[in-house]
Amino acid sequence: MRRESLRRFWYHFGRNPLSLLGLSIVTLVVVGALGAPWIAPYPEHAGRFVNFAEAGQPPSLHHLLGTDTFGRDLFSRILFGYRISLALGVVVLGIAVPLGVTLGLWAGYIGGGIATWIMRLSDVFVAIPPLVLAMAVLGVAEPSLTNAMMALTLMWWPWYTRMIYNQVRSLRLEGYVVAAQIIGASATHIMFREILPNTLPNILTKAALDMGFVILIGASLSFLGLGVQPPTPDLGTMVAEGARYLPDLWWLAVFPGLAILFVVLGFNLLADGLRDALGEG
Amino acid sequence: MIAVSLLEVKQLNLSLRTHTGLAHILKDVSLRVEAGERVALVGETGCGKSLTLKAILGLLEGKGLVVSGKVLFEGEEILGTPRILRLRGVQIGFIPQDPAASLNPTFSIADQLLAVVRRVRRNLPKEKAWALIKEALVEVAVPDPDRVLASYPFQLSGGLCQRVLIATALVNRPKLVLADEPGTALDVTVQAQTLRAMRHLTEKSGSSVILVTHNLGVVREFADRVYVMYAGTIVEHGPVKSVFQTPRHPYTRALLDSVPRLTGGGLPQGLDGHIPDYTSPPKGCRFRPRCAFARPECAEEQPLRQVAEGHEVACVLYAEVPRG
Amino acid sequence: MADILLEVRDLTKEFAVGRKRVRALNGVSLGLEEGEILAVVGESGSGKTTLANLVLGIEMPTYGDILYRGTPLKTPRPLHMRRRLQYVQQNPWTTLNPRRTVFQSVALPLAVHKLTPPRLWRERVAELLHLVGLGPEFLDRYPHALSGGQRQRVAIARALAAQPEMVILDEPTSALDVSVQARVLGLLLEIQARFSLSYLFISHDLAVVRNFARRILVLYRGQVMETGPTEVVFRNPVHPYTRLLLASVPVVSEEEAALRPSWPWDAQDRLGPGEGCPFSSRCPWAQELCWRERPSLVPIQKSHLVACHFAELFVEEVSHHG
């Protein structure tokens, strides 16, 4: 019964304080990002707002994390920055995961010449560090959020293909897969209804972990000026700009940096918790 | 002075915290093994027989375990004491269920046997130690001991691995050997040979054996006495002959009746229902919900009552029956 | 005499192990009549699983024929054959998909073979569950909430959903407790009689076979050692391997113990066989001839066949004793 598995999942998940911490962080970030226009004390500071009278102020009750060189509230900008980070993660994984998983299922269950070719290609992609690859792509294409998303998607699917491929190779010998074959079920049914559901815990765990990584690499690209362009409030861009004013206006680089750390840590802890709890299920 | 039994388990209780609550698994399990005796602990999946064995061996681990009771080896407490660590492999041998998984794949058979021998006789010269382990393999009818000694576990068949494990458990001539479903993973012909080897060897060394099994046939072929477990309790125990010829407890009877006979006569009936949920087991006799003879009194605790020489049953049906 | 449903002729399967070729099945022939239960008995490495896989079409035979109602079967099997020939596996813990409900698992053959309109699936599955002794409350349960016996019942219901003519039962109760085993075997017999199914019953448990199957076929290292009506073979086991198997069964009563043939347990195994009888390395009576030449399967009596050079000796011995 679904409810019973859910209860077991919560029992194991809830017993680990770190998993709960991860979940809380992720919830906090998601709520903060989605609700930014209402939660942020100065939502208008997200864009091309300028108020030199309040520029470069250190953290205070008025501006929790201080203001930047244009007088914009840093806390508000970080909340809006999370919107970009999460959107990047959701779009990249939203395309890369289904694509990678489908290719992995196909290569693992049906196989054949094209499948071999796909696996070779994924080998190549996996061998190159993601950041380097993305930089190469963005070196050719124009730096923008869309292009950053495309570059990251391009290099993320092979990881899922490989993971699913390996799992399918062992799952296809399971009794229930053999049973479905003997009954005469179609390959589509066996791949998507029999095998795929049993790989979901792994996919979910990896996706949670990758959410953190995609955000981190996206921020790195922005930091290098290859991603989101100002004035859109991106955490990586903010760190890059703030770094110019170190150490005097330290909060400009430190808080966006901590914000990145915070969300990446949150997804990592969540993924660990998912892995343990789903493994027990 | 009363003679001390080799092993005595007294009122062993074991509970485990799970996500559905506290599971009361073992309830007042008591058993006794005398020197040179072969005792079987028989029951179906989930009846707690392996847990009992682990408790004796001090192999219980994990969070959420609540254990109470006594395990006395030659009169001294070993439950939850470091004493068991010194006894294991020396005075108490263990034959695990899965032969392939129980040998270390990175060491040769000779290395593994020698390590066990050296636990007792640290300074034994190499030639003598070799002779000893070779002899140990010959005793369990290993056809080509030199080749087997030089082999690694993955090079041997399941049957040979099982025999190596028996040799390992017995090489130090322990006073007690615990065997967890030996040969279950093996073919019947190999299992028969395995049991013969175990019987022969323990007879020769005078070791006592506790054999945990679900196979009643194995019990009859191997053991002197038997304890029948149901849902974490001992429902009946006694000499094998007595229990097999006149089983008293309704569960023992149903279990024996479930075994298909080599003589034919049609399929047996089997037994309806399943073991109770340990988080809320029935009060009194735990077999009550499945029992054809259940009556209101069964909700009370049923102590073990003697029905014949050394044969005791925990069932209300025998409450008024005179002894004998 | 009933019609032959399945006929296997000289079936051989070789596997490549490194550079060597190993014969998992070596010239096995058998016939399964309509409405009959034939037990294939053997230990690990006997080739009984390979035989099942070949009949099911999971593997291709190296040579030999499999005929169904007189027509050779194609591999892969056409869809209508997949419906007629069903399978119940040994392991109750892997036979059902842990992520699919009982209803989803049992309804699969209905969907694949379009046997019932989709709106009637639930009704039909409930009916099938009732047949195997499970109530409708099981429809939406997941396998992890089921005991081993219940899982096997669901697997049987799934096989029945296809409305098969023949079912291969691959040790369907060997992983179950003895009290549960009896119930499941009883159920299988009931269903067999009700739908006049044919069973190819693969097992290593001779006591079960004695009470379940009408005929028995003993396999050893891919070859048939002995075959005949169950009663005859148990009363008069001729092949030394059959005798070893029977002698090895742990039994619960004196009457059964008396039935077991004696066996010289202290005899040592010898070198592996060459071209000869596959059992010669373990056979205490093996002679020069046994090492050299593979014995063929010859009738001892009508429908009781044995592959042993010295079969006559053992028949005589048995008749002397009783």
- How confident is the model at residue B321, as a pLDDT? 53
A237, two tokens: 């861009």
Segment holding B195, helix H or strand E = helix B188-205
Q: Which residue has the tokens 């470091």?
A: B82
Tell me if C248 and B265 make a contact (CB, 8 A cut-off).
no
* Residue A263 confidence (pLDDT) above 70: yes
* Residue A2 confidence (pLDDT) above 80: no
Total structural domains in chain C? 2
pLDDT tens for C253-280 read 999 999 899 898 877 766 655 788 999 9
A12 shares contact with chain B (CB less than 8 Å): yes
The DSSP secondary-structure symbol of A229 reads P
**Closest of C178, C94, C133 to residue B47, by C-alpha:** C178
C-contacting residues in B 103-162 (Cβ below 8 Å): 141, 143, 158
| Domain map (residue ranges) of chain A | 2-42+64-280
| Helices and strands, counts by H and E, chain A | 12, 0
The residue of chain B with its CA nearest to that of A281 is: B19
Residue A235: Cβ-neighbour burial (10 angstroms; 0-12, 13-18, 19+)? buried
Residue of A7, A167, A176 to mutate, interface with C, max C Cβ within 10 Å: A176
The DSSP secondary-structure symbol of A45 reads G
Tell me how far apart the alpha carbons of residues C31 and C281 are, in angstroms, rounded to a whole number: 29
Final residue of a domain: which of C209, C235, C261?
C235
Final residue of a domain: which of C177, C201, C235?
C235
* 3-state SS assignment for residue A227: coil
Q: ipTM, 2 decimals? A: 0.88
Domain that holds residue C89: 4-235
Of A4, A182, A185, the CB nearest to C56: A182
Cβ neighbours around C115 below 10 Å, total: 16
pLDDT tens for C199-240 read 999 999 999 999 999 999 999 999 999 999 999 999 999 999
Q: How confident is residue C128, by pLDDT bands cut at 50, 70 and 90?
A: very high
- How confident is the model at residue C273, as a pLDDT? 57
B4 shares contact with chain C (CB less than 8 Å): no
Q: Are residues C257 and C113 in the same domain?
A: no
pLDDT tens for A114-163 read 889 999 999 888 888 877 878 888 888 888 888 888 888 988 899 999 99
Tell me how far apart the alpha carbons of residues C276 and B287 are, in angstroms, rounded to a whole number: 54
- How confident is the model at residue C56, as a pLDDT? 93
CATH classification of the domain holding C122: 3.40.50.300
The residue of chain A with its CA nearest to that of B17 is: A11
For CA atoms C48, C52, C55, C60, give the dihedral sign. negative
Give the up-direction half-sphere exposure of residue C214: CA atoms within 13 A in the CB hemisphere: 14
- How confident is the model at residue A281, as a pLDDT? 45
* Widest Cα–Cα separation across chain A: 76
Class of domain A2-42+64-280: mainly alpha
Task: Report, as an integer, the average pLDDT of C175-190.
Answer: 93
Tell me how far apart the alpha carbons of residues A136 and B183 are, in angstroms, rounded to a whole number: 61
Tell me how far apart the alpha carbons of residues A209 and C304 are, in angstroms, rounded to a whole number: 65
pLDDT tens for A76-93 read 889 998 988 899 999 999
Q: Which residue has the tokens 């059959």?
A: C242
Q: What is the secondary structure of B61-105 as a DSSP string? A: -STTEEEEEEEEETTEE-TTSTHHHHHBTTTEEEE-S-TGGGS-T
C-contacting residues in B 257-296 (Cβ below 8 Å): 258-272, 274
Q: What backbone phi and psi angles, to 5 degrees, belong to B235? A: -95, -25
Q: Are residues C190 and C253 in the same domain?
A: no
- How confident is the model at residue C168, as a pLDDT? 97
* Residue B280 confidence (pLDDT) above 60: yes
Chain centroid to CA A131: 14
Q: Are residues C100 and C158 in the same domain?
A: yes
Q: Are residues C224 and C127 in the same domain?
A: yes
Q: How confident is residue A30, by pLDDT bands cut at 50, 70 and 90?
A: very high
pLDDT tens for B12-23 read 999 998 888 899
- How confident is the model at residue B119, as a pLDDT? 86
Give the up-direction half-sphere exposure of residue C300: CA atoms within 13 A in the CB hemisphere: 26
Q: Are residues C92 and C222 in the same domain?
A: yes
- Which range of C6-10, C173-177, C272-276 scores highest in mean pLDDT? It is C6-10
B19 shares contact with chain A (CB less than 8 Å): yes
C212 shares contact with chain B (CB less than 8 Å): yes
* Residue C20 confidence (pLDDT) above 60: yes
Q: Are residues C167 and C104 in the same domain?
A: yes
The conformational region for residue C194 under phi > 0 = left, psi -120 to 50 = alpha, else beta, is alpha
Q: What is the secondary structure of B226-267 as a DSSP string? A: EEEEETTEEEEEEEHHHHHHS--SHHHHHHHHTSPPTT-SS-
Q: What backbone phi and psi angles, to 5 degrees, belong to C76? A: -70, 155
**Closest of A221, A213, A210, A212 to residue A134, by C-alpha:** A221
Chains in contact with B, counting 3 or more C-beta pairs less than 8 Å apart as contact: A, C
Final residue of a domain: which of C235, C262, C286?
C235
pLDDT tens for B204-217 read 889 999 999 999 99
- Residues of B within 8 A of A11 (CB-CB) are 19
The DSSP secondary-structure symbol of A143 reads P
Q: Are residues C187 and C307 in the same domain?
A: no
* Residue B228 confidence (pLDDT) above 70: yes
- How confident is the model at residue C272, as a pLDDT? 59
For CA atoms B151, B152, B153, B155, give the dihedral sign. negative
* Residue C1 confidence (pLDDT) above 70: no
- How confident is the model at residue B323, as a pLDDT? 47
Q: Which residues contact C112 (CB under 8 A, 6 or more apart)?
A: A183, A184, A185, A186, A189, C79, C82
Tell me how far apart the alpha carbons of residues C281 and C272 are, in angstroms, rounded to a whole number: 5
- How confident is the model at residue B187, as a pLDDT? 84
